[in-house]
Chains A and B, each alone.
Chain A
Amino acid sequence: MGASQSGRLHMFQDLADKTGFSTEQINNLHIRFMYLTQDEDTLRREHLENISNLALNPIRRQIVEAFFDKRNLGEKEKGCLQEIGFEEFVTILSFFRPPKPNTAECLEMKEMKNIKKEKLRFLFNMHDTDNDGVITLDEYRHVVEELLSSYETIGAETTKAISDAAMLEVASVTVGQMGPDEFYEGITFEQFMQILKNVEIETKMNIHFRKMDKRTMQCGK
């Protein structure tokens, strides 16, 4: 970005306010961003796909997609972007920001719930690939398939059976006993929240952004 040094600082400050990162973290992330994009202004899929550690991740495709998913960027419209700028990059990463430690104790329950909901929404969008607000069986099978793809000992059939079973589990818990004429569309976001309500996602879906130094910054390419 052709902004001057002070302009950049200003931008970082804005981003920090918006996403809850500290300016230092933003700065670090920016370095990383520039490193990934090889000093371009925008990040494209192949940049992420080039990260060597990521290559071993069975669900990397979904994760990479999530970075380009407009829904995760707070936009109403659906669809995918081809490339994202630094701001979007940081926005996506802010889903993984732990709640600020100093405020953790006094966080209102409501606020905690919002954080949780946001994080769940992110996960939900990741599974709901066709943006129709429902994770259908096919979509879920796909997720499970990718998830288990690194275990070559589990055949495709088993994978399918597992995803089917999981889906049925959701159906039985969220809908209860179904009448003979009912059918199950798939997991809606409400049901998704319901089934994950016991998982303390607000404490789990976090990573440290704190200790980033030059050394680790360069790794993974």
Chain B
Amino acid sequence: MPMPSSVYFCLLRAVFLVCFVNPLIILGLSEDVNEIQDHHHHQPKENLTGLPIVTFKWHHVQTPYLVIIWVFVAGLAKLSVVELSHHVTSVFPESGLLIMLGFVLGGIVWGADMAQSFKLIPPTFFYYLLPQIILDASYFMPNKLFFSNLGAILIYAIFGTCWNAATVGLSLWGCYEAGVMGNLDIGLLQFLLFGSLIAAVDPVAVIAVFEEVHVNEVLFILVFGESLLNDGVTVVLYNVFDAFVSLGGPRIDAAEIFKGIFSFVVVAFGGSFLGIVFAILLSLLTRCTKHIQIIEAGFIFVVGYLSYLTAEMLSLSAILSITFCGICCQKYVNANMDEKSVTTVRHAMKLLANGSEIMIFLFLGVTAVDTEIWVWNTGFILLTLLFVFIYRIIGTFLFTWMLNKFRLVPIEVIDQVVMSYGGLRGAVAYGLAAMLDEDKIPEKNLMISTTLIVVYFTVILQGITMKPLVQWLKVKRAAHSDLKLIEKLNNRAFDHILAAVEDICGRIGDNWWTRGWNRFEENYISWLLMKSKARKNRDYLFNIFHKLNLEDAINYVSEGERQGSLAFSRSDEAANVDFKKQFGSEFADVMPNIMVDMSNYELGIEHFSVTSIVKDTIPSVSLDIHGQDRKNAMDDINAHHLLQQHLYRSRKNHRHKYSRSHFSINQNEDEVQEIFQRTMRSRLESFKSAKMGVNPAKKITKHHKKELMHKMPNGHTDSTGHLYGDEVDRAVGRDTGAINSTFMRDMYTIGAGIENPVFLPDMDSPAHSPPWLMETEAVAPSQRAQRRLPWTPNRLRRLAPMRISTCSTDSFLMADVSLTLEEHEEQPQTDNEDMRPVFD
């Protein structure tokens, strides 16, 4: 086992990073920082005596250089944290480790400078680090879950936060009046201000911890949704109290308080509303970005950020604005954009959010190593910790108790415990504390240090104990299900059943509203915000179906790679694999309409990317469905990558064309032609064995695949039911009883005897005239085709063919078509065999 050595290596690397690399960088940096000061003064004096070949211009690049070095260090920090031994990472949450690493880095900086030259300052945090995290969280929000629990989330987020702010502030003030804290220059309003900034449960910290714990979905959405929304609420609350503090105690009367409450409402709801407006804009925008696919992904970020800044400008709640922008736009944006762009958005979003998260935690640690901010007041600090903890618990239980009176499914006590324990404070609290105005709040530093301690306490201590607690309490965990499709089908059926029973009982209930909204959304909102093409394919079930197919495609390709080529076959054990392959072949004709733009479908490498895979691949029915750890987000990229490696590369050199706006190389007619010819030849070879006298539809055989694919979308819109339908009916009728008895067997059969024509030796020279031209009458199905025939109709597959208009109802032909397509796909593989060393 290489295990110990790799662990050892990782440790070594981590130690190396921490001990050597970081100090070097930082020492270098901090000295440079000092030098710059001098440099600035010296510079004018230097006289140019000759033409310098190179000059050292540190001050020119200082700021961006420092920033990027820190980003780099953060990346390394994450790396070292993740690569750390599993024993450590399974106990410590990453966020806690990053903070601790931050201590170390901060210590090094401080050791070098004797002052903390790098701090997390509020503008950086609020303008450059926070927005993408919130956008990410909201963009990936499970909407259905979120909105079905919206009531509870709002209660926790609004009233829970106010409760926390008020109780913590008041209790601290009470204790202060009682003399526990000694002499401090803090009044009631300042205490309330402090309470409000410390009240927010931080989404960054919460996600970081809860993601690793896998609690059940309702609990997760409650904690997560609450933390997301209550950030917005806290900021609003903070601003209101900040205004009160500036106003001064005596001048606050009932009218001002009323104005404060009113502004709270306006700011919170105004922000949310603004976010929704931007979401609508964004959705409309993506409707018409078809021709600028390369940059359409950028719009999400730009518009999202714009909604944040606009809200900030209007002094509405920026966090709520970007939250709702992300939540509302996701559905339409994903539907409107090209699949490639969707993948880009996902990954870029994760990249940005993860990056800022690391930076934030790291700097929360770094910032702490600074003598300036530390003011110790035992009473204040300990009491704050105590109150924060206790009132969180009381608040959670109180509001849950009220909510449970209305909830159909009450929130269990255990879940409540976890919820209250999950009240992690984070960078938002620190950011707000650092924003305090020292003139108005003399004890600012005390508040900052208290906030930091609360943050460390909650993130590190509660973070570490969260997992054992969840295990110990036997909190319902998220169920990992192997089943995707049937589960979704059942859920769908459920929704309808519940709605129907409600109708029968004559009660207008939740299901009624949900349904009403869905109908409205489908008819009007989707119509407005979605491309008509996208609308068609947006059914939820269809999506799942689509995703599963995508996964299977990946399995298929990787299995092929494992076995050396996509042409693996003939092995009895590989029955399931062949089954996949079978589906693979079938699949191209299956759902042309998934493709946003079919006309792009060519055999050229680049055009084969994610979208087309999806189309072409299949469903292994997943006999090995368990084996796959599927992370949806990863799938697309994997598929993309694999296909890149595997698809056809001609023996000709690539002609790389550089284009800023397209990814296209090698869209070469000759090449396409060559592939086609080879395929046709090999196919004919394999057909020789039998003469079934099927008349091939000329359109199919005569033109290459592109053409063929082209037809399908058309065909399937009109003559849907008839062409293939008859056969299906027949088939269904025939084997109603027998169907189940045959299908497993069929899979096996397929596997048994596939020959791979692609490997026929003489495929290189398409010397004679294309066979398909001469053999219009006599193309006969191959062995394979024959084998398939008997069960073509009742074969179970995830992807049934959508009919191909140009093709007859003849199942022989269906088999033919699929064969062709299959071979098109295999072809590249063989070629790639030769090429692989080059790519490796």
Contact = CB atoms under 8 A, between A and B. Distances in A.
Contact of B496 (A58, A158, A160): A58
A147 to B, nearest CB: 6
B800 A212 contact: no
B507 A208 contact: yes
B622 A158 contact: no
A75 interface: no
Q: Which of A54, A59, A154, A162 has the most CB of B within 10 A?
A: A162
A84 to B, nearest CB: 12
A204 B494 CA distance: 9
Contact of A59 (B497, B505, B536, B748): B497
A170 B493 CA distance: 17
B483 A173 contact: yes
B745 interface: yes
A148 B489 CA distance: 9
A143 B741 CA distance: 21
B114 to A, nearest CB: 58
Contact of B621 (A143, A147, A154, A172): A172
Q: Which of B501, B536, B622, B721 has the most CB of A within 10 A?
A: B501
B797 A165 contact: yes
Contacts of B506: 32, 35-36, 212, 216-220
Contact of B484 (A155, A169, A177, A178): A169
B213 interface: no
A183 B741 contact: yes
B489 A166 contact: yes
A163 B412 CA distance: 36
A36 B504 CA distance: 8
A67 B499 CA distance: 15
Contacts of A211: 507
B619 A212 contact: no
Interface string B533-558: 00111010110010010000000000
Interface in B454-491: 479-487, 489-491
B654 interface: no
Contact of A203 (B409, B498, B510): B409
B736 A216 contact: no
Contacts of A51: 503-504
B539 A151 contact: yes
Contact of B412 (A105, A143, A154, A155): A105
Interface string B715-726: 010001100110
Contact of A207 (B509, B548, B622): B509
Contact of B576 (A143, A154, A164, A177): A177
A32 B492 contact: no
A48 B504 contact: yes
A199 B490 contact: yes
A203 B217 CA distance: 13
A156 B725 contact: yes
Nearest to B738: A183
Interface residues of B, number: 81
Given A57-B496, A198-B479, A166 B485 contact: yes
Contact of A157 (B503, B736, B739, B802): B802
Contacts of B716: 155
Contacts of B537: 153
A138 interface: yes
Interface stretch (A6-14, A96-104, A110-118): A96-104
A123 to B, nearest CB: 8
A108 to B, nearest CB: 15
State the main secondary structure of chain A at its contact with B.
helix
Contacts of B625: 169, 172-173
A138 B119 CA distance: 66
B796 interface: yes
A161 interface: yes
Contacts of A29: 505
Contacts of A167: 486, 796
B560 interface: no
Interface string A50-73: 010110111110010001000000
B403 interface: no
B263 interface: no
B498 A205 contact: yes
B797 A164 contact: yes
A15 to B, nearest CB: 15
Contacts of B125: none
A156 B721 contact: yes
Contacts of B545: 158, 161-162, 165
Contacts of A81: none
A177 B489 CA distance: 23
A189 interface: no
Nearest to A89: B504
Given A57-B499, A156-B721, A162-B545, A169 B621 contact: yes
Given A57-B496, A60-B500, A138-B736, A157 B801 contact: yes
Given A165-B545, A212-B505, 17 more contacts: A51-B504, A53-B503, A57-B500, A59-B500, A63-B504, A136-B736, A144-B489, A155-B716, A157-B724, A166-B485, A170-B486, A171-B744, A180-B745, A185-B740, A195-B483, A218-B506, A220-B503
Interface of B: 404, 408-410, 412-413, 479-487, 489-494, 496-512, 519, 535-537, 539, 541-542, 545, 548, 575-576, 590-591, 619, 621-623, 625-626, 716, 720-721, 724-725, 728, 732, 736, 739-745, 748, 796-803
List the 5 shortest-distance A-B pairs measured between CB atoms, nearest first. Answer: A165-B798, A198-B479, A161-B800, A180-B748, A183-B741
21 contacts: A51-B503, A54-B500, A59-B497, A98-B409, A138-B736, A156-B721, A157-B801, A158-B545, A160-B728, A161-B545, A161-B800, A166-B489, A173-B625, A177-B623, A183-B740, A184-B740, A205-B497, A206-B408, A207-B505, A208-B408, A219-B508
Interface of A: 29, 32, 35-36, 48, 51, 53-54, 56-60, 63, 67, 93, 96, 98, 101, 104-105, 123, 126, 136-138, 143-144, 147-148, 151, 153-158, 160-173, 177-178, 180-186, 195-196, 198-199, 203-209, 211-212, 216-220
